[in-house]
Amino acid sequence: MSTDRSVRLHRILRAPPERVYRAFLEPDAIAKWNAPHGFTAVVHEMDARVGGGYRISFINFATGTRHDFGGAYRELVPGQRIVVSDRFDDPALDDDMTLTITLEPVPCGTALHILQDGLPPAIPLELCTLGWQESLPLLAYLVEPEVPDGG
């Protein structure tokens, strides 16, 4: 029986690494793209510095059920790497998780590598993967357009 409670994802985005990096650290950006389908995201706190923390809620739009979680920034390398700890408030999901985001410049933009370790046994890995698969196109819609300033 495997004890690996990890999800790994990879995606190429047509945007520079610095823009993708910002999308993981700015509260309004997180609220726009991070929640899976059927959920909204509320960013209650985001202190994006090593040792700083964050508090976020995913809210089921149909039922109003909230999933609150938070964590701390453990490593921040602008345009390259983000490592954060995560923990759900729900005692049934009290495992410590680690999210590692690695950004690599490629000729057409950025290679995004995601590793989410330590997922609680109560969360099916397939459901976590599906959530990321739903959120990542929203990330692309945010970071890929080249929208000119002004009118």
What pLDDT sits at residue 89? 75
| Residue 131 pLDDT > 80 | yes
What pLDDT sits at residue 120? 85
What pLDDT sits at residue 96? 87
| Residue 29 pLDDT > 70 | yes
What pLDDT sits at residue 70? 94
Spell out the long-range contacts of 28-31 with Cβ–Cβ below 8 A and sequence spacing 24 or more.
29/142, 30/56
Distance (Å, whole) CA 36 – CA 62:
13
What pLDDT sits at residue 66? 93
Q: In what order do the strands lie in the sheet with 81-88?
A: 7-13, 109-117, 97-106, 81-88, 66-77, 53-60, 39-46
What pLDDT sits at residue 136? 97
Closest CA to 96 of 78, 132, 69: 69
Phi, psi for residue 131 in degrees, rounded to 5: -60, -45
Neighbours of 53 (CB within 10 A): 15
| Residue 48 pLDDT > 80 | yes
Structure tokens at 145: 């357009």
What's the mean pLDDT when you consider all of the chain?
92
Looking at the domain 7-37+73-143, which fold is it? Alpha-D-Glucose-1,6-Bisphosphate; Chain A, domain 4 (3.30.530)
What pLDDT sits at residue 53? 96
pLDDT tens string 80-97 = 999 999 987 777 776 789
What pLDDT sits at residue 3? 57
Q: How much is the average pLDDT of 41-58?
A: 96
What pLDDT sits at residue 151? 55
What pLDDT sits at residue 9? 97
Closest CA to 112 of 142, 67, 68, 148: 142
What pLDDT sits at residue 1? 35
Q: How much is the average pLDDT of 70-78?
A: 97
Distance (Å, whole) CA 78 – CA 37:
29
